[in-house]
Structure 1
C-alpha cells in the first residue's frame, strides 16, 4: 500500500475544544493493546483483553487523575482502534482536541504475551503506522506556549524523521516561551541505537528543565556512577532538575537545593509495564501542585507502586482520593 507523505495534515479528531490551555501538554504515540490475561504462549483460544497504551498518553492520564488539566497530541488511524484510544483518553479527562485521525495509516498495535507467570514478552507493530506519522504541522503552537509543562519522551523521536522534527519543534517552542520542558529518556533499543539516541536526545538537553532517566539511560550522556553523581552530571548538561529512576531501589532527584532520595514503596508487583510513566505522572502532578522535591518524589513513588500492582499500562494509576491506600507504606530516606 502506498501512503502519502507523513507531513500531510489529516482531519482533527472529534472532541470538544477546551476553554483554556491545559497545564500539561504532551505529544507522542498511542496504540491499541492486545494482552494475554493468563500465562502461556499465544495460541488459539488464549484469553486476552483489549486496551490501549502509550508513554505520553499514560502520563497525561496520571496527571489528569491527580487533578490537573492535561492534553495529548498525536495521530491515530481512522479506525476502530483509533476511536478506542481517543474515547479512552477523553473518558480520563484528557483533552484530545489537538489529536489527529489519519485516514491513510492504521493505528499501531502492541501484543503483550505472559510467556510465564513472571515474564512478559511485548511485540510492537508501529513502523509506518499512524503514530509514527506525527509531524510539526500537527502541533498547536499556542497550546504548547501557553502550557505550564510540556512533556516528551525519547520514544517519539525514534519513530520517524517527522516525529523527531515534531518533538524538536515542540521543545524549542516551549523553551522559548518559558514553559517547563520535561523529558523522559525512555530509551527503546528496538527503535534506535544508543549512539543515535544519545546524539538526538543530547540536542534536546539544553532546552530541557526536568530530565528523567534510568541508570543505563543516563549513561547515554554521562559516565556511569553512583546515582547522585550521575544526576549531578546530568544537570550540568542543561536540565535544572534530574531524576534517576532506580526501580526497586526507589529514585533520586538532584536540583540546585541538593539531592533527595525516595525509597520504593513495597507492593506485590503484577505488571511492570507503564510503571515508569506512572512515576513521571506523579512527579509532574506534584510539581504542578507547587510541592517541593521530596513530595514530588513521594507522589511519584506512590503512583509507580499503584501502577505495578495492577495489570495494564495506565489502569492502576491512582486518583487523589486513593493515595491513602498506600501512603502508610511510604518510606523516605
Structure 2
C-alpha cells in the first residue's frame, strides 16, 4: 500500500555486472546483468516500503538506459523527470565479491548521462507532494556542477518546508577526501538529517567519538545525526541525546546496498512517526536484510517483510 508521504532523490543509475563467483575480478569470466546506483537503490527501497518516490535523473538513449527505465517503472517509482539523452552512454559498474561478503566496485561512468543535467532543470513543480529530499555524496562526486544542482534542490526544499536528508556515501574512486570534505561542508548547515557510516564520518571529521560528533551536529544545526556501523548496529544523536540499537544477527552475502536500504528504512520510520529507538530498529532490520541477498537492490524488502523480520510489530507497527 502506498504511503501518503513523498520522497525525492536524484542521481546516476548504472547497469551493474554481478560476478558469477566470488574472488578477485580478474578470475571471473561470467557476470549477471543487474541495475544499481546509490540513489536508485534508495528510491527502490523507499518504493518497496510504500513511500511515494520520485527519482530525477538522465539515462543514455541506449539499450541499457531502457533496461533501467523499465526496471524503475516496474518498482513504482515516479519517472516523470527522468529523460533519455543522446551521445552519453548509460553508466556501468562491475562488482567484485569476496568470500566474506565484502566487495569492491569498478566504475565505468565516463561521460555519464547525468552530466547533461543543469541547475535550471530543477523546477518547483518537481516538489509537489514531497515531504523529504534525499541527496548523496555519490551524485556530488560525479561532477563539480552537481554541487550547484544539489544546492538548488536544497534551496527549493527549504523554501517549501521539506526535510533535507544527506548521506555522504564517500566514493574515493570518484574524488579525493579533500574534494569530498569541501563539498560536504558546503551543505551541512542546510541538512536536517545526516545518515553516515562510522568510517565515513571519521574520514570527514578526523574523529568519531561521541563528543566530537555531538559538537559537529550542534555547530551545523543538524537535527538528526545517524551513525551506521554495520554489525555494531546504529546510533542517533538528536535533541542533545544519544540513542543506540544493536544490529540484527545475519550471515552477510553481499553488503553492497545495505547503507541505501538503511537510509530508506530510517526515512520511512521517521516520516511515519516512529520513536527514535524504533527508527533505528526498523532501519537496522532493512539494512540487515539487504546483506543476505546478492545484488545492489534485490534484497531491499517490502514493508510486511521488514515487520516479520524484526518481530516487533506490536511495538512499531502503525
Normalising by the residue count of structure 1, what TM-score does the alignment of the two structures yield?
A: 0.86
Deviation at 1:291, TM superposition (A): 1.5
The answer for the alignment partner of 1:10 in structure 2 is none
Q: Which string of whole-angstrom CA distances, capped at 9 and with x for unpartnered residues, describes residues 41-95 of structure 1? A: 5569833211111111111111111111001001110011111111111111111
Q: Does the residue aligned with 2:184 lie in a helix, a strand or coil?
A: helix
Aligned residue in 2 for 1:287: 270
Is 1:150 aligned to residue 133 of structure 2? yes
Unaligned runs of 5+ in 2: none
Aligned to 1:108: 91
Could you say which residue in structure 2 is the equivalent of 1:321?
Answer: 304
Once residues 176 and 226 of structure 2 are traced to their aligned partners in structure 1, the CA distance between those partners, rounded to angstroms, is: 23
Does the alignment pair 1:96 with 2:67? Answer: no
For the Cα contact (< 8 Å) 2:151–2:187, is it kept in 1? yes
How far has the Cα of 1:226 moved from its partner?
2.3
The reply on whether 1:57 has 2:40 as its aligned counterpart is yes
Separation of aligned partners in 2, 1:283 and 1:118? 23
Q: 1:30 aligned to 2:7?
A: no
Deviations 1:12-31 (A, max 9, x none): xxxxxxxxx97100001111
Distance change >3 Å, CA 43–CA 155, structure 1 → 2: closer
Correspondence 1:1-333 to 2 at 5 A: 23-42=6-25, 46-114=29-97, 118-144=101-127, 146-227=129-210, 229-256=212-239, 258-328=241-311
Once residues 40 and 214 of structure 1 are traced to their aligned partners in structure 2, the CA distance between those partners, rounded to angstroms, is 25
Q: CA deviation at 1:137?
A: 3.2
The answer to whether the 8 Å contact 1:265/1:301 transfers is yes
* CA distance in structure 2 between the aligned counterparts of 1:270 and 1:315, rounded to whole angstroms: 12
Give the superposition deviation at 1:219. Answer: 3.3
Is the contact between residue 228 and residue 252 of structure 1 (CA under 8 Å) also seen in structure 2?
Answer: no
TM-score by length of 2: 0.90
CA distance in 2, matches of 1:106, 1:138: 20
2:102–2:254: 8 Å Cα contact kept in structure 1? Answer: no
Equivalent residues of 2:5, 2:271 under 8 A apart = no
CA change 1:231–1:128 in 2 (3 A) is: farther
* Cα separation, partners in 2 of 1:253 and 1:118, compared to 1, 3 Å: closer
SS in 2 for 1:224: coil
**Which of 162-171 and 272-281 deviates more?**
162-171
Provide Cα deviations, 1:102-138, integer angstroms capped at 9, x if missing partner.
1120100011133656453320011222134332233
| Cα offset, 1:222, TM superposition | 3.4
- The SS at the match of 1:248 is helix
- 1:231 Cα deviation after fit: 4.3
* Residues 1:86 and 1:269: Cα distance change in structure 2 (over 3 Å): same
Partner Cα distance (1:323, 1:153) in 2: 24
Shift of 1:257: 6.0
Alpha-carbon contact 2:177-2:204 (below 8 Å) kept:
no
**CA distance, structure 2, for counterparts of residue 39 and residue 305 of structure 1:** 20
- Name whichever of 115-124 and 162-171 sits farther off: 115-124
Count of matched residue pairs: 311
Q: Return the offset for 1:329.
A: 9.0
Q: 1:185 to 1:117 in 2, by over 3 A?
A: closer
- Compute the displacement of 1:161 (Å): 2.6
Deviation at 1:220, TM superposition (A): 5.0
Deviation at 1:225, TM superposition (A): 3.5
**How big is the shift at 1:169?**
1.0
Distance 1:228 1:37, change over 3 A: farther
